[in-house]
Structure 1
């Protein structure tokens, strides 16, 4: 049976795969088909009353571990999540996704998408911050910018003394995020450290960024496997047992550089500009 093909009729669209593929995640609804609890149609296919739009992503994920969410907007990720939940597909990778904390969310930020998406759509005078609900040493985030340039801070913070209205990215990097352009690192800063960054490392838009804290070297790194790009910064050594939480800062602005903003020139707020940060599954190699 394991190598035999099977035909699924998903909302009127037919998909052909193998029993091995369907049974790669124990406890899913496909187990009911394999056990005989789910009877086939007269033509031998198995009917699932679901939207077929993202079902090919599910099959690719089951076949080879391909990302369910790569290249999708936040609302599309929500639809894929609904499909995954309907099929009872709960894997190690999907359960590792953290969430943003409502309680620590700064004024002007909105949290949606099962607490995995934080966005700012309104004019704010200064960067607003949101902290994750649970401590971890790595998380993956997907930035989406609309309109003009926005400032983004990514990194980690402690739970003690965190203030969502103020700069509390104790171990983080600040970057610009441009619509249809690149996310460029302008400045890195953290506890007992602040300096202009002379480099021009950058990431393309709409890509998953892996943010990781390396405890042994007390180094923060942000990488993008899709473009083989990475940068990092070393910070003064904190306590080895310090619990760190994911943190993001968002500010839609129009300014020449982040350093100009801190120099006191002040950003010029842009109308119809928004920025959002979506927490997504960790890459297969790190989960």
Structure 2
């Protein structure tokens, strides 16, 4: 892939820094729970369809007492988008060249009362340049207090930049994280945004604040619920819910499709899948 320019380098550096902050905090939670679990990091390289080097990334995974399975990926890839898929990417219809850098996180929790969570922010370059991403909470057993706290954190991050952001990006998340064949939402929502282009500095600052808001609120929710007692009924509900989560990620999720269509690392792409799920 081509050398990164100043904006791409700044975005990659932030995503790697955010990864380090999040992983350190998640490891602290495991330590507090009496676990010695830590993240294991696996670097990977991508080859572009042209045969040229296409960048790569690092996949971090931890399996512990609180986090049954959490994956945090940071990748920076580039090259040429192929075929009809490439034409669907913003700004790539006439020129298939692209560069994408971002962080993607999915946490599946051991205790059914602790919500699973997804967070992803990214910076893409084609003939256009834009940020996208968001964060959404996915509790098998929803608690109104947790839902309200998570949304309040996302709203505060949005309101610091544009009062119109939160209602718009919340509605976008509600639409996006929906499973049409089940006629249910994947979780209790959050925010989702894409194609945020124009003022790089302003959009980058907003994207940073989304990451910081996630780092601030999600560990609080985990600590609030991780010692809650649960039984076989709760566990069964969690595993059935995970089945629906899996269906969404494999059928509808844009990030999964983008990774598969651009020759990404399969283990990193599919790290969002839960460790145990059931269907009936």
TM-score by length of 2: 0.26
More helix by share: 2
Larger Rg: 1
